[in-house]
Amino acid sequence: MNKEAKKIADYLSEISGIDVFENKRRRYNIEARCLLTFILRNHFDMTFHQIKEFYQANGKSYNHATAIHSLKTFEVHRKYSKFLNNWLEEIQLLMKDKTNIKRGLLLNTIKELNHKQISKLYKTAKILQDGKEQTKEKADTLI
């Protein structure tokens, strides 16, 4: 079992006051597990099968379909939960590299955009990418 993942699960239980491995279907339990599943998938790059095994190793009945559903509903829970963003911010403080979490949040946000917003985002991303390439070219000419 991934010790860092267990540490984050324990910390989430501590800050939320919710045992994420408890077999309950209350809203707060579901939201906390949803957040943990998002972190396991995006920060630890776990497969859905590995996520299932992680929960089961900690006493929670869970299957890969539940993990998939949990990940798909993460943004909905995040939008309407008073606590989910706060818990995520608290957990990010524990992480050395937050890049994968930020990438996962960005990908979830992109899924919610309309066609016009995606076009604008694409143009912005292209500018960022071109700027990065220009910076590399300048650095190469200085060498």
Query: pTM (2 decimals)?
Result: 0.74
- pLDDT score, position 53: 95
| 55 CB-near residues (< 8 Å, 6+ apart) | 21, 33, 61, 62, 67
Q: What is the mean pLDDT of each run of 10 residues along the chain (143 residues)?
A: 88 93 92 95 94 94 93 91 88 82 81 87 87 57 50
- pLDDT score, position 137: 55
- pLDDT score, position 104: 82
Is 31 within 8 Å of 62 (Cβ atoms)? no
